[in-house]
Chains A and B, each alone.
Chain A
């Protein structure tokens, strides 16, 4: 696709013109960098407890202070970023795989297949998924991989709808009909014609799904039903912060601030990407 990519270079130009999106993108890159290199950047161990240094306010030694067990908060936020971002990307990936395949199959084959598949999506839409995720975590244990799968299994519905709509429009275009007339197989059709054309909306929606997934993970971790110690995500840090906020408010404020800024960055970047790639897609 490297040559005929005027659509992509156009989109890139529009994205760069959007200041909020650029700022969001820079913050995200910075966060990803910090998360990947956390073991080298973190000034202290995230797990090392030293009760004598318990609950120190921010200082030169401990940039953001220490928690009640004497662990460096800055290091813990860095390591938390790894877990939170990992959940965001992996669970969105799961949602992507299910949603895109579901949407392509429904849209491409149409007819009865389509109506049955989309009716299933309609019914699933009305169900209380938060409760089901909690149920799964209770029954099968609080396992991080199960958490990824469960969240991903919930977030694919909108993706399926968007992809199906796109496939329906593309399917009826002349070049697809021409390819069909030339005897192109279904597999080739997906790879060569359909998939490249729905990449834009998929990228946009995936970016907007990541913050939702991270929120869901933080919500579960806040309730104590998500990530389990000694691992910690931003959700668990906020949970501990709330427990001791009366005396040590920094334990709540810094993890909370980090989390909110990240959500902001993701939302702005996603919105910008949407406007750049396809101004037609609505905001839901």
Chain B
């Protein structure tokens, strides 16, 4: 067991290093220097600027320095905002994005698995059809459309909820969390329904029923553990989607999180910021995939022996 986990970690670390190196060279391939867009500066100033940002060294030396700093958690200075480091910006934006993602996951998990489990238990009744139809709509409706529509209805038409900001008005976290969580709630509903249906047809469930256990106990004590495995293995890869979704949600609701910083950096061609956040996001996603793999191993004895 421990060996399997260590093996997964041993694969993850070189992957992160390769991603970081690849991103570094990709960004360095970008046409033009970071200061080209600004007004023409005297050559001497340009030279000093390049020296400050370590752009005058040979590429391989820059790479060595960057990776060396990276391992120590230093992502270098931002090109656009003089005096601010990328690390500093990541850690200002990150808590906000994490909080948003956390609420979204809660929304998705609670609504999704509840709907899925009920749909599976009450198979082929209205309690199955209605949630599953809504789930289908939730999957087809993109975040960048759902968010504005919610704003239009609850914020502008009904005027019951604030439509932008984070931590400034009461209730301003509700719409962003629902917007980000909705698609995941839909996926989780479908996955948990499928998982529960499969588990409920297993022999050990029949045994549990045969020994006279009440149905709710059969479901809670026996079926849930097996039925929710697909949900757990979905959560790891879902983080990648959540990060993409946070770009949209933070842009729509003007939330000062890492996702919005990233989109702004992409717009302003703030190369060091893009480089740093890309590496950071990649590491985060690889880490969460690892975590969900381990969780699945712990929950499912069969996967343990296969690995």
Taking a contact as CB atoms closer than 8 A, the residue among A128, A219, A256, A267 that contacts B240 in the complex is A128
CB closest chain-A residue, reference B23 = A135
- Once A128-B243, A130-B243, A224-B267 are accepted as A-B contacts, the answer to whether A218 and B15 lie under 8 Å apart by CB is no
* Per-position binary interface string of chain A over residues 206-227, scored 1 when its CB falls under 8 Å from any chain B CB and 0 otherwise: 0000010001001100111100
* Per-position binary interface string of chain B over residues 142-157, scored 1 when its CB falls under 8 Å from any chain A CB and 0 otherwise: 1111001101100010
Please indicate which of the listed interface residues B26, B139, B145, B152 has the most CB atoms of chain A within 10 Å of its own CB: B145
* Per-position binary interface string of chain B over residues 216-259, scored 1 when its CB falls under 8 Å from any chain A CB and 0 otherwise: 00000000000000000000010010011001100110000000
Return chain B residues, CB-CB under 8 Å to A134.
Answer: 262, 266
| Chain A, range 37-86, C-beta contacts under 8 Å to B | none
Q: Are A264 and B282 in touch, CB under 8 angstroms? A: no
CB closest chain-B residue, reference A215 = B142
State A223–B142 Cα separation when bound (angstroms): 13
* Per-position binary interface string of chain A over residues 119-133, scored 1 when its CB falls under 8 Å from any chain B CB and 0 otherwise: 000010011111110
Q: Are A138 and B142 in touch, CB under 8 angstroms? A: no
- Interchain nearest-CB distance for B128 vs A (Å): 16
Q: Are A264 and B243 in touch, CB under 8 angstroms? A: no
Please indicate which of the listed interface residues B23, B31, B285 has the most CB atoms of chain A within 10 Å of its own CB: B285
| Chain B, range 117-161, C-beta contacts under 8 Å to A | 136, 139-145, 148-149, 151-152, 156
- Once A128-B240, A260-B140 are accepted as A-B contacts, the answer to whether A138 and B269 lie under 8 Å apart by CB is yes
CB closest chain-A residue, reference B163 = A246
Task: Pick the interface stretch among A94-102, A106-114, A176-184, A237-245.
Answer: A237-245
- Once A126-B289, A219-B142, A264-B140 are accepted as A-B contacts, the answer to whether A135 and B248 lie under 8 Å apart by CB is no
Taking a contact as CB atoms closer than 8 A, the residue among A139, A211, A242 that contacts B29 in the complex is A139
Q: Are B145 and A260 in touch, CB under 8 angstroms? A: yes
- Once A218-B142, A245-B152, A259-B145 are accepted as A-B contacts, the answer to whether A225 and B266 lie under 8 Å apart by CB is yes
Size bracket, chain B contacts: 35 or more
Q: Are B145 and A256 in touch, CB under 8 angstroms? A: yes
A263 within 8 A of B: yes
State A123–B263 Cα separation when bound (angstroms): 26
CB closest chain-A residue, reference B19 = A127
| Chain A, range 14-49, C-beta contacts under 8 Å to B | none
Return chain B residues, CB-CB under 8 Å to A228.
Answer: none
Q: Are B144 and A219 in touch, CB under 8 angstroms? A: yes
State A245–B140 Cα separation when bound (angstroms): 21
B71 within 8 A of A: no
A249 within 8 A of B: yes
- Interchain nearest-CB distance for B293 vs A (Å): 10
Q: Give the number of chain A interface residues (Cβ < 8 Å).
A: 39
B27 within 8 A of A: yes
State A197–B151 Cα separation when bound (angstroms): 49
B278 within 8 A of A: yes
- Once A127-B285, A139-B30, A223-B263 are accepted as A-B contacts, the answer to whether A249 and B144 lie under 8 Å apart by CB is no
Q: Are A138 and B144 in touch, CB under 8 angstroms? A: no
Taking a contact as CB atoms closer than 8 A, the residue among B141, B247, B278, B286 that contacts A135 in the complex is B278
Q: Are B152 and A260 in touch, CB under 8 angstroms? A: no
- Once A126-B285, A127-B285, A219-B244 are accepted as A-B contacts, the answer to whether A135 and B142 lie under 8 Å apart by CB is no
- Interchain nearest-CB distance for B91 vs A (Å): 19
- Interchain nearest-CB distance for B71 vs A (Å): 20
A105 within 8 A of B: no
A203 within 8 A of B: no
- Once A131-B281, A139-B27, A245-B148 are accepted as A-B contacts, the answer to whether A222 and B289 lie under 8 Å apart by CB is no
B274 within 8 A of A: yes
A252 within 8 A of B: yes
Q: Are A223 and B251 in touch, CB under 8 angstroms? A: yes
| Chain A, range 133-177, C-beta contacts under 8 Å to B | 134-140
- Once A139-B26, A139-B30, A256-B145 are accepted as A-B contacts, the answer to whether A249 and B152 lie under 8 Å apart by CB is yes
Q: Are A252 and B152 in touch, CB under 8 angstroms? A: yes
Q: Are B266 and A128 in touch, CB under 8 angstroms? A: no
CB closest chain-B residue, reference A256 = B145
- Interchain nearest-CB distance for A27 vs B (Å): 13
State A129–B286 Cα separation when bound (angstroms): 12
13 contacts between A and B (CB under 8 A): A123-B11, A128-B244, A134-B266, A135-B23, A136-B26, A138-B269, A139-B27, A222-B248, A224-B267, A259-B145, A263-B140, A264-B140, A267-B136
Binding site for B on A (CB under 8 A): 123, 126-132, 134-140, 211, 215, 218-219, 222-225, 235, 238-239, 241-242, 245-246, 249, 252, 256, 259-260, 263-264, 267, 283
Q: A138-B266, A242-B252, A260-B140 are in contact. List 4 more A-B contacts (CB 8 A).
A: A127-B282, A223-B263, A245-B151, A252-B149
